[in-house]
Amino acid sequence: MDNVTQILQQIHSGQEQAQGRLLEAVYAELRQIAAAQMAQEKPGQTLQPTALVHEAWLRLMKPSSSQETSSVPFLAGEIGSNRRYFFAAAAQAMRRILVERARRKRRLKHGGSMKQQVYPVELAILPEPDQQLLGLDAALVRLAEVHPLKAQLVELRYFAGLTSDEAAVHLGISPATADRHWVFARAWLQRAMTDEK
Closest C-alpha to 105, from 140, 127, 131, 132: 131
What is the overall mean pLDDT for the chain? 76
Q: Is the model's pTM score more than 0.75?
A: no
% of the chain at pLDDT higher than 70: 74
The answer to whether 81 touches 75, Cβ cutoff 8 Å, is: yes
pLDDT digits (tens, 9 = 90+) for 110-119: 555 555 555 4
pLDDT greater at residue 192 or residue 74? 192
Per-residue pLDDT, averaged over 62-83, amounts to 53
d(CA 45, CA 33): 16
Which DSSP letter does residue 30 get?
A: H
Q: How far is CA 21 from CA 9, 11, 74, 173, 182, in A?
A: 12, 10, 17, 28, 34
Is a pLDDT exceeding 70 seen at residue 101?
A: yes
CA distance 163 to 175: 10
> Which of 20-34, 94-108, 124-138 tops mean pLDDT?
20-34
Per-residue pLDDT tens digits for 167-187: 888 888 999 999 999 999 999
Among residues 59, 4, 36, 156, the alpha carbon closest in space to that of 148 is found at 156
Are 34 and 28 in contact, with CB atoms under 8 Å apart?
no
User: pLDDT tens for residues 38-59?
Assistant: 777 766 667 788 888 888 888 8
What's residue 125's pLDDT?
43
Binning the chain into helix, strand and coil, the percentages to the nearest 5 are 70, 0, 30
